[in-house]
Amino acid sequence: MDSILVTGNGPLSGRIPIAGAKNACLTLMPATLLSEEPLTLTNAPRLSDIRTMTALLQSLGAEVTSLQGGQVLAMSSHDLNNHVADYDIVRKMRASNLVLGPMLARLGHAVVSLPGGCAIGARPMDLHIHGLEALGAEIELRDGYLHAKAPRGLKGAVVEFSFASVGATENVMMAATLAKGTTVLKNAAREPEIVDLATCLRKMGARIEGDGTSEITIEGIDRLHGATHPVVTDRIELGTYMLAPAIAGGEVECLGGRLDLVASFAEKLDQAGVTVTETETGLKVARTGGPIRAVDVTTEPFPGFPTDLQAQMMALLATAEGTSVLEERIFENRFMHAPELTRMGARIEVQGGTARVTGVEQLKGAPVMATDLRASVSLILAGLAAEGETVVSRVYHLDRGYEHVETKLQAVGAKIERIRG
Ligand code: EPZ
């Protein structure tokens, strides 16, 4: 298994290109199942999760061709010949569950393995099931698989989510595009990835309004046609790289960065003493003097502070002046990076969903272990500010969500390399 060696090397300077969003691409790809005509995605990120979704779609009979080094995905689901999403693939990546809604709508049946638990929490699918059953699907859990069928097709309905679940909103919105009649999703997720999916579905002929708000209305139609769609910028990769100059000092421009995608996060950076400026080509982030100030953070559904940036923010606050309180309200077990940061000298007390972080003068490099995707990159960020060498092991977690992290950081002066394991 590869590991990454980071050596604290002072302030950074230069530009980092931000890729297309993993979490948008992982819901845009299953949208190909809704139509017999080709769907092509551009600005796709080159990540192992995208390769996992590619393998899953191909196992269902879809054609997925990766072009331009993976930045273009040319897909066609003209000849689907399998409606079972196998445990072997689904257990690797929870987002595999996003084939459920489209398959049900297109084929009238689907068998999708439950994803199983993952590092950050139980992550059940009750809200996905609730929404699809409201559209008339019959769903039964048997041998760890969801067996779903809609022999008479899906019918529009009003669906109220008890929690603004991103995946459940995506699954039900995709299914509703081919249901008979009108569907209204209440307390729907508002993430930019939902808006990107709705935009792509509209290009395919779907009738969707209200995406980006908590009430989305979908008028079902008989069939969707093909389209070409650019994947929206990855706001989590963007936020992650905004933290590099924040924690190491210096000034970095994140190319393609958009302030509207990270508004609440940028607000917290500003409070912490980091300057964020919009430029013609992205977002410039500078920390050229003065200490990082402690700030309190609570993770919430969009437009609140994103849970996927909590671990990375904790690394910054571990170097701040004062004590910060981080509340993780989305997942029940998303502080596994805390003990690893503690090995680097951070002072963190975790109690349930709350972490109290008291900043220290200087983090110290140490061998640490990645536990999940975002935890692994928070350890790299800490390594940028630490004295001495930090070796982050199990970086396969990292490769799921960050393309060439060492190359992007080397380009702005970081001392970082991959050690082939
Ligand atoms: C998406 O996961 C993202 N993944 C996650 O990013 C992200 O952290 C999460 O949304 C929240 O923003 C993708 O888009 C592929 P949820 P998803 O349904 O859809 C509970 C990353 O690092 N819940 O909004 O699974 C669930 O257990 C990943 O890129 C139910 O209880 O998130 C969790 O506690 C990690 N029942 C909370 O809701 C359900 O049926 C949020 O889940 C569904 C969810």
pLDDT in tens, 290-301: 899 999 999 999
Q: Which strand ranges, in their side-by-side order, compose the sheet holding 63-67?
A: 63-67, 72-76, 39-42, 227-230
Judge whether residue 122 has pLDDT over 80: no
Is residue 221 over pLDDT 80? yes
Does ligand 1 lie within 6 Å of residue 220's CB atom? no
Distance 165 CA to ligand 1 centre (A): 6
Q: Model's pTM, two decimal places?
A: 0.97
What is the predicted pLDDT for the residue at 39? 98
- Confirm or reject: Cβ of 127 under 6 Å from ligand 1: yes
**CA–CA dist 359, 349 (Å, integer):** 12
Coil, helix or strand at residue 104: helix
Q: Is 308 in the pocket of ligand 1 (CB under 6 A)?
A: yes
Nearest CA to ligand 1 atom 6: 308
pLDDT in tens, 159-209: 999 999 999 999 999 999 999 999 999 999 999 999 999 999 999 999 999
Determine which residue's CA is closest to atom 9 belonging to ligand 1: 166
Q: Which residues contact 375 (CB under 8 A, 6 or more apart)?
A: 119, 311, 336, 337, 340, 397
User: Any known ligand binding at 22?
Assistant: yes
What's 278's domain CATH number? 3.65.10.10
Residue 24 has pLDDT above 70, yes or no: yes
Please indicate, yes or no, whether residues 211 and 247 belong to a single structural domain of this protein.
no
Q: Are residues 198 and 334 part of one domain?
A: no
Give the pair of three-digit tokens for residue 153. Answer: 């097709």
In short, whether 97's Cβ falls inside 6 Å of ligand 1 is no
Residue 421 has pLDDT above 70, yes or no: yes
Residues 7 and 37 in one domain: no
Characterize the bridge pairing of strands 323-327 and 354-358: antiparallel
Burial (CB < 10 A; 0-12, 13-18, 19+), residue 326, is buried
Domain span including residue 394: 3-18+233-419
The mean pLDDT value for 357-383 works out to 96
The total number of structural domains that make up the chain: 2
Question: Does the beta carbon of 23 sit less than 6 angstroms from any atom of ligand 1?
Answer: yes
How far apart CA 156 and CA 180 sit, in angstroms, is 6
Q: How many residues does the chain have?
A: 421
Average pLDDT value for residue range 76-87: 93
- Integer-rounded Cα radius of gyration of the chain: 21
Is 204 found in the same domain as 60?
A: yes
Query: Is 2 marked as a binding-site residue?
Result: no
Residues 30 and 129 in one domain: yes
The answer to whether 335 and 342 have CB atoms below 8 angstroms apart is no
Q: Distance from the CA of 194 to the center of ligand 1, in angstroms?
A: 13
Going by C-beta distance under 8 Å and a sequence separation of 6 or more, which residues neighbour residue 347? 318, 357, 358, 359, 360
Residues 14 and 87 in one domain: no
Measured from the CA of 374, which atom of ligand 1 is nearest? 22
111 and 238 in a single domain? The answer is no
Please, what is the average pLDDT of the chain? 96
**For residue 376, what pLDDT band results from cuts at 50, 70 and 90?**
very high
Claim to verify: residue 337 and residue 221 sit in the same structural domain: no
Residue 117 has pLDDT above 70, yes or no: no
Q: Which atom of ligand 1 is nearest to the CA of 307?
A: 8
Counting from 1 in the atom list of ligand 1, the atom nearest the Cα of 164 is 24
pLDDT mean over 320-332: 97
